[in-house]
Every structure is written in structure tokens, then in C-alpha cells.
Amino acid sequence: MKTILVPIQNIATMASTLEAATRLAQRTGAYIEGFPLRFGIPPYLVAELATGIPFDSYNAKNQEELAEMHRLFETFMLKHDISPATARASRPCFGWLETAPEGEDFVGSYGRAFDVIVMPRSDVDAAGPHRRAIESALFESGRPVLLAPPDAPRSIATNIVIHWNGSTEQARVNAFAMPLLRLAERVTVLTVIAGQAVPGPSADHIVRQLRYNDIAANLVSIELEDRDTGEAVLDAARAQGCDLLIKGAFTRNRLRQMIFGGATSYIMEHADLPVLMAH
């Protein structure tokens, strides 16, 4: 994971997201690129919504917000001893994309050129555009997404838990995570007995695969009890003291998750540790 993309927003949880990105970059020797994530409003709507406010004023305010996001990103990088990317710069290093267009769809399309996308996790009160930006990253980039918790992690990817549910999505995110799994001091393959799962290889097969890749993984099984699968997974991850959860995203149909809930939705809204996801 040598290239990291971070969509920047003026929100309270951005600091913890940048902390997760910098810790990951320091661990892997990566290049971090930031860009301003803007949920644009068409000019004709601006005219209707901001009655009496000239479009030039709206545009000036927009430029101020862009400059503030750039300052936020660059100041954080320099404070954490990450240098601007130049021909002679050592890694980790950073860059800034000035020309990012408006709209959350850009996260998914531009993210294809990076090894991982780092974003703040969602929550039950998250605005629709933020959720759509996460979904764009998950469904359109073909890359893994690292969702950062509201509070900055002290470490990342030293103690990893993989939630194995037999699915294609989980197999895919496991593959994406291999560089981090090889760096980890501890790896646990977790299964939830009677939890949400699909027909597929057993957790024993995954442990065997990892061990053949020189990753000393251990197997842990827990009972679901009276919990949602996502809640059980997070409880087990905390009990293991893990600092990264590897989770396949939306094994169940996305619409079904929206209506009935699911492990992905629960973890996206409640995780208090970094979560690496892929669909």
C-alpha cells in the first residue's frame, strides 16, 4: 500500500482520518494525496436557495473553503514530519490535487489509481452525500477503503482481526490486505457462530492459506448470542485489542441492508477502530 488517497472535508472527524492515513503511510512508506471533497450545488439551485446572495459571493466562499481544506491537509502532514512530494523526497510524502471536480462520484473514479482510500466512517446521523461518497469508493473504485473511527487510533495494523464469513467480498478484502497482514505482529481469523455468513471455505482454510503465506494466523470463534453480527464482531475485535478490522462490505444486497440492517452497516456506523473494507 504505497499510494493513499484521502478526500478532505471540513468536518470534525477529519483529524482522526488524517491520523489514520499518516500512521498507515509511516508504516508502509507511502505517498498520500489529498483532494477537496465537495458536494456541489448547481448554480441555478444556488440562485434559488440563497435568495439575494450574488453567485460571485457563493463562488468566493467556495474558494475560501477549498483553501482551508488545503491548509488543513498540508499543516497536518508537515506537523507529522511528512514532506511534500518532490523528485528527491523520501517517503512517506504527500501531494495535493487542485483540480478535483465537485461531486462524490469522483472518489470512486479517481480512487482506482491508488492502493487504498482513507475516509471517515459513517454514522447514523451522517449526511447523505458523505454516505454516497463512501459507497462510491466501495462500489466504483475497485480498491479497499480504510474507514477511520471518530477518535484517532494510537496504532494501525499491528494487531489485525479478519472477520471470515465465507464470502467473495471477504476473500477480496483479505487479498487487498496482504501487505498489511505481512507487517502485523498478530493476525486473528474470527468467525461468528450463527452469524451472517454465506456458503464458502471454512475459517480453517483461510488460516491455512495465511500460514502458507508466512502469516502466523490464529482462529477464534465466538457465539452470536443476542447481538447483531456486526456488534458481535466489534465486541470480539475490542476483546482482541485489535487496531485494524478486515471486513468484506455488503455481502448482503445493499438495499436489503438499508431496510433490514446488516453487519456492514452496523460496523460502518459504530466501529471505534480502523476498518479496512472492500466490496
Q: For 198-225, how does the pLDDT look when each residue is reduced to its tens digit (9 = 90+)?
A: 999 999 999 999 999 999 999 999 999 9
CATH of 159-277, one of 1.20.120.80, 3.40.50.970, 3.40.50.620, 3.20.20.70: 3.40.50.620
Q: CA 227 → CA 51, 100, 164, distances in Å?
A: 49, 42, 17
Q: Rounded to whole angstroms, how far apart are CA atoms 178 and 201?
A: 18
> Where along the chain do the CATH 3.40.50.620 domains lie?
3-148, 159-277
Confidence band of 40 (pLDDT split at 50, 70, 90): low
- My answer on whether omega of the bond before 92 falls inside 30° of 0, hence cis, is yes
Q: Domain 3-148 is of which CATH architecture? A: 3-Layer(aba) Sandwich (3.40)
| Mean pLDDT lowest among 63-67, 87-91, 165-169, 249-253 | 249-253
- Written as nine digits, the cell of 107 is 472518489
Q: Rounded to whole angstroms, how far apart are CA atoms 61 and 81?
A: 31
Residue given cell 491548509 in the structure block: 71
Query: Crossing angle for the helix pair 263-270 and 229-239, nearest 10 degrees?
Result: 50
Do 117 and 7 form a contact (C-beta atoms < 8 A)?
yes
What DSSP string runs through 12-28? TTHHHHHHHHHHHHHHH
Summarize the confidence of residues 11-16 as an average pLDDT.
93
pLDDT of 259 = 43
Residue type, 108: G
> Which residues on neighbouring strands pair with residue 205, listed in sequence order?
none
Q: Which of 55-69, 89-103, 112-126 has the highest mean pLDDT?
A: 89-103
Do 51 and 57 form a contact (C-beta atoms < 8 A)?
no
Q: CA 211 → CA 72, 84, 219, 244, distances in Å?
A: 42, 38, 12, 19
Query: Crossing angle for the helix pair 55-79 and 14-28, nearest 10 degrees?
Result: 40
| Mean pLDDT lowest among 39-48, 55-64, 97-106, 204-213 | 39-48
Q: Rounded to whole angstroms, how far apart are CA atoms 229 and 167?
A: 15
Specify the higher pLDDT residue, 61 or 56.
Answer: 61
Report the mean per-residue pLDDT for the chain: 90
Q: CA 135 → CA 34, 117, 125, 141, 142, distances in Å?
A: 19, 12, 16, 10, 11
